[in-house]
Structure formats: structure tokens, C-alpha cells
């Protein structure tokens, strides 16, 4: 019995390891907020590119309270990190995320809608809104080209410099 428990514990640690390695934010709540934002963006890109507004609207309606709370968390993150430039940086991030996901969709070509469209069925079939965070985390939707939870700048000048660097990267 002891061997069995040890084996289960080892497998559990091994299965958790990749998730921990992928986490980019120092705060679990920040990481979750960005993952939910990535899920929402993925579904928006799918709805737009695949002309599936009905399922997107069903997603927004079902998870409205969760999505609004997530939007407040994301806004608070950018406000805390960038101060007066928080809304500008928030808008830049959302645009960059949507553009990266759209590029991924373009790379898939005609396979994009059939391959990724099933995510609507999955998210709408979740047993309750409480599992949305875990679902989003398991999907690993934040593109590698999109930076989240960068280290906090130490001064207003550094914030401006970080914003300028981010703008140059975008070009």
C-alpha cells in the first residue's frame, strides 16, 4: 500500500510540474485573469473568423458575471502596474492578444474553424461557472509572442520606458 501511495504522489507531482513551469505571473490570481482573458479573446476571434456569433453570445451571457469580474481584475492589474497609462496598456494588451490569436488562425487556414470551433462546445458544456478558471488554465491559450505579468517597473520613468519599448516591439 505504501508503494502505491508513493507512486500516486510521484505521478501527481510530475503532472503538476508542467503547469507550474508554464505559469508566468507571480500571483495565481493574475495568471488566472490573463488565462480567462485569453479564452475570451480566442472565442471572440473564432466568432468573428468563423461567423459564429450565436455561440459567442451564449458564452458571454452564461459567464457574464465571471467575465465582468475578470475585466475588473485585468484593469486593476494594468492600473497598478502602469498608473495613468494603465488603460492604454490594457487596450494594447487586448489588441496584441487578439492579433496574435488571429495570426494563429490564419496560419491554420481552412482548418481553423473546424479545429478550434469545438472549444465553444466545451466551454458551454462546463458543469458550472466555477470551473471556468481551471478550464482556461488547461487550454494554454496565451500565445508565446504575448508577454504577461512582466516585472514591475520601479519608477514613473521606467513605466514610460517600458511602454515605449513595448510599442517598438509591436512595430
pTM > 0.85: no
DSSP state letters, the chain: -HHHHHHHHHHHHHHHHHHHHH--SSSHHHHHHHHHHHHHHHHHHHHHHHT-HHHHHHHHHHTHHHHHHHHHHHHHHHHHHHGGGHHHHHHHHHHHHHHHHHHHHHHHGGGHHHHHTHHHHHHHT-S-GGGHHHHHHHH--S-TTS--SPPPPSSHHHHHHHHHHHHHHH-
pLDDT in tens, the chain (171 residues): 444 434 433 333 333 333 333 557 878 899 999 999 999 999 999 999 888 889 999 999 999 999 999 999 999 999 999 999 999 999 999 999 999 988 887 777 777 888 788 899 999 999 988 899 999 999 888 888 888 887 655 555 555 656 665 666 656
The count of domains in the chain is 1
Q: State the residue range of the domain holding 143.
A: 25-170
Whether 161 maps to a domain, the answer reads yes
Amino acid at each position: 500500500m505504501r508503494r502505491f501511495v508513493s507512486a500516486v504522489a510521484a505521478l501527481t507531482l510530475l503532472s503538476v510540474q508542467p503547469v507550474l513551469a508554464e505559469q508566468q505571473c507571480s500571483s495565481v490570481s493574475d495568471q488566472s485573469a490573463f488565462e480567462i482573458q485569453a479564452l475570451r479573446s480566442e472565442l471572440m476571434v473564432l466568432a468573428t473568423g468563423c461567423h459564429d456569433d450565436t455561440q459567442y453570445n451564449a458564452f458571454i451571457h452564461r459567464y457574464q458575471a465571471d467575465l465582468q469580474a475578470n475585466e475588473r481584475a485585468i484593469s486593476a492589474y494594468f492600473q497598478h502596474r502602469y498608473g495613468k497609462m494603465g488603460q492604454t496598456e490594457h487596450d494594447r494588451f487586448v489588441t496584441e492578444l487578439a492579433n496574435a490569436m488571429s495570426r494563429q488562425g490564419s496560419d491554420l487556414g481552412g482548418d481553423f474553424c473546424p479545429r478550434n470551433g469545438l472549444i465553444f462546445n466545451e466551454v458551454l458544456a462546463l458543469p458550472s461557472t466555477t470551473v471556468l478558471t481551471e478550464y482556461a488554465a488547461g487550454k494554454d491559450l496565451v500565445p508565446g509572442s504575448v508577454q504577461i505579468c512582466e516585472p514591475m517597473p520601479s519608477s514613473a520613468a521606467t513605466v514610460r520606458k517600458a511602454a515605449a519599448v513595448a510599442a517598438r516591439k509591436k512595430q
